[in-house]
A and B are shown apart, each in its own frame.
Chain A
Amino acid sequence: MIAQIVLFLLFIALLSIFQVRSLLSQQKKKEIAVYLTLMSGAGLIGALMLAGIEVPSPAPPIRAMFEPISKMIFPKP
């Protein structure tokens, strides 16, 4: 499991290094910030999943928000 996580993070890091180096040479700082935020999010979620830790899904909060509307329009018998 640990080997898997290390390999995955290494893969993410390698991809990021190549991309950031190419963007740095073009002085694209905003793109680097957005890219690193997204990539670190992907790395973190992937590592948590490989470690067997449950990642919170966005579906339950969205459901909690919209279920009252659904029940108001079409009440269940």
Chain B
Amino acid sequence: MSSDRQQVSGTEMGALLFMFLFGSSFTLPMAAVAKHDAWLSILSALAAGTCLAWLYAHLCQSFPGRTIIEITEQLLGKWTGKGIGLLYAWYSFHLGVLVLKNFTVLISSVGLTKTPTFVSALPLLAIMLWVTFQGIDVLSRCAVVLLAFIVLEIVVSVILLSPDFHFEYLLPLFDQGWRPVVKGALESTAFPFGETVLFAFVLPKLSKHSRAVKTTVGFTLAAGLLLWIGQTRNLLVLGDLVSNLIYPTYSAYQYVSIADFIERIEPMVFMTEVASVFVKLSICFYVTTLALSQVFQTEERHRAVYYVPIALLILEMNFFIYKNSADMYQFSEIWPYYSMPFQILIPLLLWVVMRIKRRTSAQTSDPHGKTPDQTRRPADGTGDL
């Protein structure tokens, strides 16, 4: 049976976050609208994404061991909590479908062009089901192993591609005005940085609750910087062409040619994609089932009953969510606005309510000494209201 009661260490949580941020975003162009200013957009998005990470991690640290649904139930009442729980279950389910869709489209358009989508999606879903059944701690240990490959790949690819770098491709700055840069930053904040809000469901599994903020913010920054290096590497090799390509990383890797010997290394992209999509999809799936089980108050040991139907629905929806790539592209334009309530508004609202409630409870207490609440609160500043 599931070993989900086990905890996840800081490094393992960081590896999960790292892999989650790399899922899909490693192959797809980020901030394509900003063209050669994309590197500026991604840097600003990294700053914004770190603030978002701080926001939800701070919430989780203030309520140790509780997910965002339980926090909402405590702050805003039971039914608001259930409503928000259902919204997050939908959001993570939708994100899972999109992650699988990106993966199957990559495989069918670049890799295995004659293989049916069903065949490339099914093994991934099977491994996802298996690892989720084993528990989040198993997934996090997988992430640690897989992370080493990804970091190594980025470092090696930067070294191998460095003869093809054209630093003049990054200039001139802001030649199309600030609008595309801001739009690109907004898009990159929503995808992939803001999506880490799903970790508000995973962070309660962290073994040291008092380190939730440090772990989340630190690893978001590190992963974001590596992602920025990866995207800037594509820009340095391909220039403005990046914004017209669907898979710029794949195209950039085709440029590698060292002494007519090290060539055609682009299949490495698939390895990274499979590894990171596996982790991202599993987290989306885990969060969907966890949110559903908390809304319907299912005991943790019975959560597995939701696994098969949700996995089936993800597989089915993968086929009909978009009719064609144009549909997919148009949807990606509104993704930041659709994600905004989940990524920013709800965590911000909860944070504000938490601050107000804490302030009022402090004011109503004895002005000369410590409040009864404060004396009971743990030394690390965490605890209930």
CB distance from B265 to the nearest CB of A (A): 35
Contact A70 B334 (CB under 8 A): yes
Other CB < 8 Å A-B pairs besides A15-B308, A41-B313, 12 of them?
A19-B305, A23-B305, A31-B296, A34-B306, A38-B306, A39-B312, A55-B320, A58-B321, A62-B331, A66-B337, A69-B337, A74-B179
- In the complex the two chains form, what is the Cα distance from A73 to B317 in whole Å? 30
Task: Number of A interface residues at 8 Å Cβ cutoff, please give it.
Answer: 31
Between-chain CB contacts (< 8 Å), 5 pairs: A19-B308, A30-B296, A55-B316, A63-B330, A63-B331
Type the 1/0 row for A8-37, where 1 means its CB is closer than 8 Å to any CB of B: 000010010001000100101011001100
CB distance from A22 to the nearest CB of B (A): 9
- In the complex the two chains form, what is the Cα distance from A41 to B292 in whole Å? 15
Q: Which A residues lie within 8 Å of B316 (CB)?
A: 42, 45-46, 49, 55
B319 at the interface (CB under 8 A from A): yes
Q: Which B residues lie within 8 Å of A69 (CB)?
A: 334, 337
Known A-B contacts A31-B302, A42-B312, A42-B316; A57 and B321 likewise in contact (beta carbons under 8 Å): yes
In the complex, the chain B residue whose C-beta lies closest to that of A74 is B183
- In the complex the two chains form, what is the Cα distance from A23 to B302 in whole Å? 9
Question: Which residue of the partner chain, among B179, B310, B313, B331, contacts A59 with CB atoms under 8 Å?
Answer: B331
B167 at the interface (CB under 8 A from A): no
CB distance from B259 to the nearest CB of A (A): 46
CB distance from A50 to the nearest CB of B (A): 10
In the complex, the chain A residue whose C-beta lies closest to that of B301 is A26
Contact B313 A34 (CB under 8 A): no
- In the complex the two chains form, what is the Cα distance from A55 to B94 in whole Å? 16
Q: Which A residues lie within 8 Å of B322 (CB)?
A: 57, 59
Contact A42 B298 (CB under 8 A): no
Q: Scan residues 168-194 of chain B and give those whose CB is less than 8 A from a CB of chain A.
A: 179, 183
Type the 1/0 row for B292-331, where 1 means its CB is closer than 8 Å to any CB of A: 1000111000100110111011001101111100010011
Contact B302 A70 (CB under 8 A): no
**Which residues of B are in contact with A by a Cβ distance under 8 Å?**
94, 179, 183, 292, 296-298, 302, 305-306, 308-310, 312-313, 316-317, 319-323, 327, 330-331, 333-334, 337-338
- In the complex the two chains form, what is the Cα distance from A62 to B313 in whole Å? 18
- In the complex the two chains form, what is the Cα distance from A35 to B331 in whole Å? 30
CB distance from B31 to the nearest CB of A (A): 13
Chain A contact surface mostly? helix
- In the complex the two chains form, what is the Cα distance from A57 to B333 in whole Å? 17
CB distance from B353 to the nearest CB of A (A): 25
Contact A70 B333 (CB under 8 A): yes
- In the complex the two chains form, what is the Cα distance from A38 to B311 in whole Å? 10
Known A-B contacts A15-B308, A28-B302, A31-B298; A54 and B320 likewise in contact (beta carbons under 8 Å): yes
Q: Which A residues lie within 8 Å of B94 (CB)?
A: 58
Q: Which B residues lie within 8 Å of A57 (CB)?
A: 320-323
- In the complex the two chains form, what is the Cα distance from A45 to B312 in whole Å? 10
Q: Which of A19, A26, A42, A74 has the most CB of B within 10 A?
A: A42
Contact B337 A35 (CB under 8 A): no
Q: Which B residues lie within 8 Å of A42 (CB)?
A: 309, 312-313, 316
Q: Which B residues lie within 8 Å of A23 (CB)?
A: 302, 305
Q: Which of B298, B305, B331 has the most CB of A within 10 A?
A: B305
In the complex, the chain B residue whose C-beta lies closest to that of A46 is B316
Q: Which A residues lie within 8 Å of B306 (CB)?
A: 34-35, 38
Question: Which residue of the partner chain, among B297, B309, B317, B327, contacts A30 with CB atoms under 8 Å?
Answer: B297
Contact A31 B305 (CB under 8 A): yes
- For the complex of A and B, the 8 pairs showing the least CB-CB separation, nearest first, are A38-B309, A42-B312, A66-B334, A66-B337, A39-B309, A69-B337, A55-B320, A45-B316
Q: Scan residues 44-68 of chain A and give those whose CB is less than 8 A from a CB of chain B.
A: 45-46, 49, 54-55, 57-59, 62-63, 65-67
CB distance from B96 to the nearest CB of A (A): 13
CB distance from A34 to the nearest CB of B (A): 5
Q: Which of B179, B296, B309, B322 has the most CB of A within 10 A?
A: B309
